[in-house]
Amino acid sequence: MVSEADHRAVADFLYREARLADEARYAEWLALWTDDGVYWVPATTEPDPDPERQLSHVYDNRARVETRVKLLQTGVRYSQEPASRMRRLVSNIEVEAADGGELVAGSNFLLAELAVQAGRELHWWAGRATHRLRRVDGQLRMSRKTVVLVNAAEPLPNLAFLI
């Protein structure tokens, strides 16, 4: 169990993170990470996947998260040029205390993406996100974000945006 105040702060963080990703506000989204952040989107829905043995859609250390963002900022990342129009709902938030004063938040999301880069296709994405959060200079930051899509192991359309 965590305090009401912590729960509220975590929920606010998750909503903000979702909105920055939805609105392609890349620099602000990147600023939500700790220096040792790991961004992980497994390519399987099996329990306890091992990213050192199994392929992932995304398994970025902090340097690769920055590369991902820089690509999107070049203006020639054609798979997100122009950026998809997106809105996601974040719900079913559960927060637990973890080691070192960190907080771990599980949440479900449903994301509507209008992929406008070739045709104009509406894609629905759904899954569960797990955020590990740490206070840095009084502000919550992500040290780990794991996104397990319900269709993680199926053929997917482009996932070049920030999920």
What count of residues does the chain have? 163
Comparison of 11 and 71: residue with beta carbon closer to another protein: 71
- Answer for which of 34, 44, 117, 130 binds another protein (CB under 8 A) is 117
Comparison of 25 and 78: residue with beta carbon closer to another protein: 78
Is 3 a binding residue for another protein by CB under 8 A? The answer is: no
- Answer for which of 2, 71, 93, 150 binds another protein (CB under 8 A) is 71
Comparison of 6 and 66: residue with beta carbon closer to another protein: 66
Is 118 a binding residue for another protein by CB under 8 A? The answer is: yes
Which residues from 29-48 bind another protein, rule CB under 8 A? 41, 43
- Answer for which of 68, 131, 132, 144 binds another protein (CB under 8 A) is 68
Is 160 a binding residue for another protein by CB under 8 A? The answer is: yes
Cα 24 from Cα 27, distance rounded (Å) = 9
- Answer for which of 76, 92, 100, 137 binds another protein (CB under 8 A) is 76
Is 52 a binding residue for another protein by CB under 8 A? The answer is: yes
